[in-house]
Structure 1
Amino acid sequence: MSVDFSSAEAFARLASELQTVDGIEETVEAVVQFALQALSCQFASVVLIAQGRRPEVLASTDPGLAELYREQIDTGDGPLLTAILNGTVVHMPDVPNETRWSPELIGRLTVAGIQSALHLPLTVSGRSHAVLNVYGAAAFTTDDLAVAHILARHAAVAIASARHQQTMLQAVDARKLVGQAMGILMERYDLDGDRAFEVLRRYSQDNNRKLRDVAQELIDTRKLPGHGRSPAK
């Protein structure tokens, strides 16, 4: 691909914008909006991948895509699932004549006016954090494909960074909650810090709940889950 000055400038602006937005939702929204502007595409979406959880549609320029994704996730088959499970780019240059997946799925894509599709795993350090999906009313050009791959690299770094930041903020929030809950136990039952933390940890394990959730309930209700006696006993 020969990238002209305007394209290079646009990607520089995108990289700068992705550095300044806060949160995963805002990051992926910026990505899909840029995809609509930079590519000859009709629809765009980002599907988030999390270990042990169903893939989640985080941003989409068309609400109808969510139903197509749910069907693929439920049946365990389809181009999106192939991109997620194999971590590979899936290009569908001629959707109406596609034979790799069910005729029903291809029919729904065709009825929606989709003639070409591209699913790009957003991978950082060998791990796919999400999939960028773009759909065209005509075949993607060579330049479109090149731009999509460059966009995917920018998006992968931005989304991985946003997820890490969110995890760190959640960890800080959890520590604050646990600290507040420990303070309540220490004051009410005359416990030291180690003993108060041990009480929270025990209730977390006994009730099969996250330590953060046990702490939040204690703060909200001033009670531990289902206790009828001093928690120090």
Structure 2
Amino acid sequence: MHPVTTVPRPRPDLAGWLLAAARRWHAAEDPEAAVRAVLDDVATLLPPDASVALTLLGTGRRPVAPQGDTGPAAGLDAVQVGRGQGPLLAALAGTPAGSGDLGRDLRWPLLAGAAAAAGVRAATCLPLDTGAEVIGALSVYATGAGPGADRATLVPVAGQVALALHTVRRTTNLVVALDSRDLIGQAKGVLMERYRITADTAFGILVRASQDTHRKVRDVAALVTETGETPRPVSAGGDGRAPGGP
């Protein structure tokens, strides 16, 4: 009998793959779509026994809910966020981290049980570093006895993911800001015409209404432009009239 030989899985053309993938990520219409595109694409690079997750940093640089493919990756990211321990936390702080045997790794004892329950053996967690800031982390977990994810492949991928998500997030925020500016301008115009007041006074009314009602200025402006109603309270008497107005 001839010995059985295992044909190694061919490595992808990383340069070509990454160029095409990065174009898709940058073209996403919003951050959520970009995250989904990243997860779908990165999953095609991984061995069959691996899964991928993204955990991004939100307000106050606190991790938001991890998102992942159909494997256990997002669940293990969530466990680490909840317990404050694991390679993910190191990656979110800017340091690549990982383990070839999470169940026996003494650095993160609180993670061992969860990893064993999920059948996960190895982990690779990389910071999503734009060069100016870390915006999150890319995590890959392996369940089989194989070599796991190729870290040399994942490092440039994580760098491009960071740049793409940062760009899409900034673009989305800019569009929202421009829309808000236009909406606030329209609301100021309504108040200026109604009360014969200056633009600064009209804006002051919107700001005070925002503070009094605990709503965003944009939401108050939307009410004014959509209904024609003056936000309340806008004066000490709470009568809905602009100070000094008729």
**Residues 159-196 of structure 1: CA deviation (Å, up to 9, x unaligned):** 11011101101111110221121122122222232221
1:81 to 2:92 alignment? no
Distance change >3 Å, CA 185–CA 64, structure 1 → 2: farther
- SS of 1:133's partner is strand
Distance change >3 Å, CA 157–CA 96, structure 1 → 2: same
Maintained 8 Å contact 2:56/2:63: yes
Q: 1:79 is matched by which residue type in structure 2?
A: P
Maintained 8 Å contact 1:73/1:81: yes
Instruction: Give the deviation of 1:107 after TM superposition.
Output: 1.4
Aligned pairs, how many? Answer: 229
1:23 to 2:34 alignment? no
Aligned to 1:99: 106
Give the helix-richer structure, 1 or 2: 1
Q: 1:219 is matched by which residue type in structure 2?
A: T
Aligned to 2:220: 214
Structure 1: tracts of 5 or more residues without a match: none
- SS of 2:55's partner is strand
**Stretch deviating more after TM superposition (137-146 or 11-20):** 137-146
- SS of 2:13's partner is helix
Maintained 8 Å contact 1:95/1:106: yes
Instruction: Give the deviation of 1:38 after TM superposition.
Output: 0.9
Considering Cα pairs closer than 8 Å and 6+ residues apart, tell me whether 1 or 2 has the greater RCO.
Answer: 1
Q: 2:207 is matched by which residue type in structure 1?
A: R
Q: 1:14 is matched by which residue type in structure 2?
A: A
Q: Matched residues, percent identical?
A: 32
- Which of 43, 60, 74 is equivalent to 2:68? 60
Aligned to 2:7: none
Maintained 8 Å contact 2:50/2:71: no
Aligned to 2:243: 232
Maintained 8 Å contact 1:218/1:224: yes
Task: Give the TM-score taking structure 1 as reference length.
Answer: 0.85
Aligned to 2:114: 108
Q: How many angstroms apart in 2 are the aligned matches of 1:139 and 1:63? A: 16
Aligned to 1:90: 97
Instruction: Give the deviation of 1:53 after TM superposition.
Output: 5.6
Q: How many angstroms apart in 2 are the aligned matches of 1:96 and 1:70? A: 17
Task: Give the TM-score taking structure 2 as reference length.
Answer: 0.81
Instruction: Give the deviation of 1:154 after TM superposition.
Output: 1.0
Instruction: Give the deviation of 1:145 after TM superposition.
Output: 0.6
Distance change >3 Å, CA 53–CA 8, structure 1 → 2: closer
CA RMSD of aligned residues (A): 2.7
